[in-house]
A = this chain, B = another copy of it.
Amino acid sequence: MPSEAEILDAALDLLDAGGPKAVTIRGAAAAIGAAPHAVYTYFADKAALERALLERLLDLPEKITGADDWRSEVEQLALELRRRLAAHPGAVPLLIGGPLDGPGPWRFGERLLTLLTEGGLDPAAAARGSYAVMVFVLGSIALEVADVPGAGALPPETERVDARRAALSEVPAGTYPRTAAAAGVMATWVGTEQFRWGLQRLLDGLALHP
């Protein structure tokens, strides 16, 4: 009855329902009606199960449509990764917690390298730049996901932006005046708008040093 795919399905359900800590060997085994040790036939240990789960979520589509230049193509690619991970917030701590290797991260990095090269960056700048973009994209998603308490799906974006604004306005204004004031002046602070804005500022900087 058990199979690699079936175990991963079960693990993904656990991830979505209870967050990264809910992904357990025993839980996945129980979900498919097998003994705990049955999982070890398909995955060497819990880390291997987590890696396989991540790989499954990182198969970004080969073609991105609706982008007319390299900068908006980078943005679309980043937004696509962001969408994937927002759909499974529990995966983010797993992704950020382990080394970025394997086909998923390689595909993402390769596409960034290609786009930055098309944008006119020399190989060294493209290499450094693609890593900087990866850092920004994953850091943004990580902080955004970390902001949300609980384990289930992310609440609607407007709600998250409001929650962030509310949290900022509760910062002690005496000791952190600018931080408290930021609740009033910011346009969005977290959310897609902030994500795109920050990414474009980084791309601005990269374009200055081709």
A interface with B by C-beta (< 8 Å) = 93, 96-101, 106-107, 109-110, 113-114, 117, 123-124, 126-132, 134-140, 142-143, 146-147, 149, 167, 171-172, 175-179, 181-182, 185-190, 194, 197-198, 200-206, 208-209
Shortest distance from the beta carbon of A172 to any chain B beta carbon, whole Å? 8
A109 touches B179 (CB 8 A): yes
A124 in contact with B186 given A113-B179, A131-B194, A135-B140 (CB within 8 Å): yes
The main secondary structure of chain A at its interface with chain B is helix
Q: Chain B nearest CB: distance from A182 CB in Å?
A: 4
Alpha-carbon distance between A44 and B74 when the two chains are bound, in angstroms: 44
A186 to B123, CA, bound (A): 8
Do B147 and A143 have beta carbons less than 8 Å apart?
A: no
